[in-house]
Amino acid sequence: MAVTIVKQPLSVVPAHNDIEWQATSTQYTQPDFAFYVTVTVVSYSITLNFKIAPVNNDRLYFNLIEITRKYVSNYYPFQVYGWQTATDAIQEFTVNIGEYYSGTVHAGSDETILAYNASLTKEERRLYQPSLYEVTGTKNNDWLNNLYNGSATNGRTSCKINQDFVFYFLETGARSVELVTITTYDSSNTLLGTSVISNSFDPPSSTATKHLCINLGPSGLDNIDSGAVTGTYPIITSSVASYMIAFRIDNGTGYNYFYRYVDIDRCAPKFEKVTVHYLNRKGAYDFYNFYGNHQKSLNINKSVFSGITERFEGSYDLVGTGTIYPNSPIAPNKKTLEISYETIRVLRSQYLSDFEIEALQDLITSPDIIIQTDEKLYLRVTSQDLNYRFKNIGEKQQILEITLNEGFTERRQRG
């Protein structure tokens, strides 16, 4: 074969990092020689062709990143419950590195890769291998979420009733998360029930089913369909004060279990709790609850235009009767023809640990922010509408303060 692949990306790669091939050809002395790379976006049935001149006589450098990042999308399971495929969060691409010379394309062999919605740091990329991010059952951090790692005995998370808590999994091999068991407790920590939610996409049968998520927050468990649950149903009742989440992972020779605990926050805090869901580097949505002293303000835009006024401004004599009439003050000289406003929020966190500050860097750089207020109300803001700052409160105590422009123009009545 005339084309030799010198370096190639791993078969499962972050879509937003460089995905580069290096190849050489023995045909580079042919007339009009160029490498001819054909990329197919499998699920979109789109084929793109690139004719690339060799460098250093015979060498090709081809980077797929510009294409992968167009077709890999962020996915959040808005008001859908149970196991979900994270639509377009993972895509299959085929790359064919061939040659072009003497007016003819000579195709090479198809290379298939899966690109998923991640953008890893330089340090993470240096040691990257898919198994570090797949749910394989051989490590503790077996999902794509960053925050709220825990064990069988610690790592409790507080969620308001009807709040989302979404877990994301990358499944590219045979081993996968088989089911999740929810064990509920009352305020005395007495067991109330056990419910099992089986993964309906196990084993993963297509590219789309290799990136899964499930909302296991109080809202997700409260709204899940009974058909998806075996055991206790409904899962969340008024008596439930906390619950344990246990994932069962097939590790090839047996099972591993991973646990998380959720305390349901049913009391009204002093300040409104605002949940901010954000996309982390690995493609999952993490969240952080802001309990601080929030502020809300309005940006108002107003346009003023000429009103139709009385032509004769002043008292007047009606048809020469001698009776003097005062001018009507009602007609305005100017009218407000357009008034609109945007809501600005300033959210403040509670005191942050060093771990949280580190983890919240992904919030600050996130391209997608979803605010969940009033339990079920979602507002989606984009990063350019955000301002962040870590504010020192006393010695060595820090909070995160973020300013969010909701980016939605409200309109008022005209004048």
Partner 1 sequence: MANVRLYIDDIEIPLLSDVSLPVTYSIEDIRTPDKTSSSYAENIELASTKELESVFEFAFDTNVDLTSFNPNIKTPVRIVAGSTQVFRGSLKLNKSIRNRNTGSVKYICDFIGEKADLFNTIGEKYLIGNDDPADDLDFSTYDHTLNVTNVQASWSTSTTAGAGYVYGLIDYCFENSGINGGNDTIFYVQHLRAQLFVREILEAIFTASGKTWTSTFLDSNFFKGLVISANQPITIPDATFNNRKLLMSIPNGTGSGSANAMTWSGTDWGSAFVYDQQLQYDTKSPAPFNDAGNMYDLFSDIITIPADDEYEIIVKNPFAELTITNVGASNGPAYNSNCTYDYEFTLHIQKWTGAAWVNLTASQTYSGTVTAGVGTIYTDESFGASYTGLFVAGDQIQITVDTKVDNLTLKNGGGAIISDGTTSYNYTFFRQTSGGFNILPILSVIPTDNYINEGETVEVNQCLPQNFKQKDFLKSIIQAFNLYIYEDKDVEGNYFIEPRNTFYSGTVRDWTNRVDADGDEESLIMGELDAKRYTFKFAEDTDYFNKIYADNWDRVYGYKQYVVDNQFLVNENVTELSFAPTPMVNNFVNGLIIPAIYKSEGGVITPQNSKTRLMYWGGLKNMSFGLWNLKDSSGDNFSSQYPYVGSIDDPYSPTFDLNFGVPKEIYITGITSYAWPTSNLFTEYWEDLLTLISSPNSKIVRMKVYFDEIDIKTFDFREPVIIDGTKYVVNIIEDYDSTERRSTLVEFFKI
Q: Do 403 and 391 meet the contact criterion of CB atoms below 8 Å apart?
A: no
Taking residues 238 to 277 in sequence order and writing x for each that binds partner 1 by CB under 8 A, - otherwise, the string is: ----------------------------------------
Q: Which stretch binds partner 1 (CB under 8 A): 2-10, 68-76, 185-193, 230-238?
A: 68-76
Least distance to partner 1, CB of residue 68, Å: 10
Number of residues interacting with partner 1: please give it, by CB under 8 A.
34
Position 231, amino acid: G
Least distance to partner 1, CB of residue 98, Å: 12
Taking residues 336 to 375 in sequence order and writing x for each that binds partner 1 by CB under 8 A, - otherwise, the string is: -xx-x-----------------------------------
Q: How far apart are CA 368 and CA 76, in angstroms?
A: 10
Q: Is the dihedral of CA 166, 148, 240, 348 positive or negative?
A: negative
Q: Do 305 and 337 meet the contact criterion of CB atoms below 8 Å apart?
A: yes
Nearer of residues 19 and 279 to partner 1, judged by Cβ: 19
Residues 174-203 that bind partner 1 (CB under 8 A): none
Q: How far apart are CA 412 and CA 59, in angstroms?
A: 62
Query: Terminus-to-terminus CA distance in the chain, angstroms?
Result: 76
Residue from 11, 29, 57, 70 touching partner 1 (CB under 8 A): that is 70
76-80 own/partner pairs: CB under 8 Å, 24+ apart: 76/166, 76/277, 76/285, 76/368, 76/370, 77/164, 77/166, 77/213, 77/214, 77/215, 78/378, 79/223, 79/376, 80/215
Our finding on whether 308 is near partner 1 (CB under 8 A) is: yes
Nearer of residues 58 and 272 to partner 1, judged by Cβ: 58
Our finding on whether 335 is near partner 1 (CB under 8 A) is: yes
Q: Is the dihedral of CA 75, 78, 80, 81 positive or negative?
A: positive
Tell me which residue of 355, 164, 181, 152 sits closest to 275, measured CA to CA.
Answer: 164
Q: How far apart are CA 356 and CA 358, in angstroms?
A: 5
Position 193, amino acid: G
Nearer of residues 155 and 332 to partner 1, judged by Cβ: 332
Our finding on whether 69 is near partner 1 (CB under 8 A) is: yes
Strands of the sheet with 3-7, listed across from one edge: 3-7, 20-25, 59-63
Least distance to partner 1, CB of residue 119, Å: 11
Q: Which stretch binds partner 1 (CB under 8 A): 44-52, 212-220, 265-273, 372-380?
A: 44-52
Residue from 29, 49, 102, 239 touching partner 1 (CB under 8 A): that is 49
Q: Which stretch binds partner 1 (CB under 8 A): 7-15, 48-56, 148-156, 232-240?
A: 48-56
Nearer of residues 14 and 193 to partner 1, judged by Cβ: 14
Our finding on whether 125 is near partner 1 (CB under 8 A) is: no
Nearer of residues 50 and 233 to partner 1, judged by Cβ: 50
Nearer of residues 257 and 408 to partner 1, judged by Cβ: 408
Q: Do 348 and 403 meet the contact criterion of CB atoms below 8 Å apart?
A: no
Our finding on whether 330 is near partner 1 (CB under 8 A) is: no
Our finding on whether 206 is near partner 1 (CB under 8 A) is: no
CA dihedral 26, 32, 35, 37 (to 10 degrees): -140
Our finding on whether 307 is near partner 1 (CB under 8 A) is: yes
Nearer of residues 67 and 221 to partner 1, judged by Cβ: 67
Least distance to partner 1, CB of residue 301, Å: 7
Q: Using DSSP bridges, classify how beta strands 110-116 and 12-14 pair: parallel, antiparallel or unpaired.
A: parallel
Tokens describing residue 345: 């929020």
Please count the other Cβ atoms lying within 10 Å of the Cβ belonging to residue 288: 21
Least distance to partner 1, CB of residue 70, Å: 4
DSSP state of 375: T
Nearer of residues 138 and 340 to partner 1, judged by Cβ: 340
Q: Do 170 and 90 meet the contact criterion of CB atoms below 8 Å apart?
A: yes
Our finding on whether 67 is near partner 1 (CB under 8 A) is: yes
Our finding on whether 147 is near partner 1 (CB under 8 A) is: no
Least distance to partner 1, CB of residue 76, Å: 17
Buried b (16+ CB within 10 A) or exposed e, 211-226: bbbbbbbbbbbbbbee
Interface ranges with partner 1 (CB under 8 A): 36-37, 44, 46-53, 65-67, 69-71, 301, 303-308, 333-335, 337-338, 340, 382, 384, 407, 409
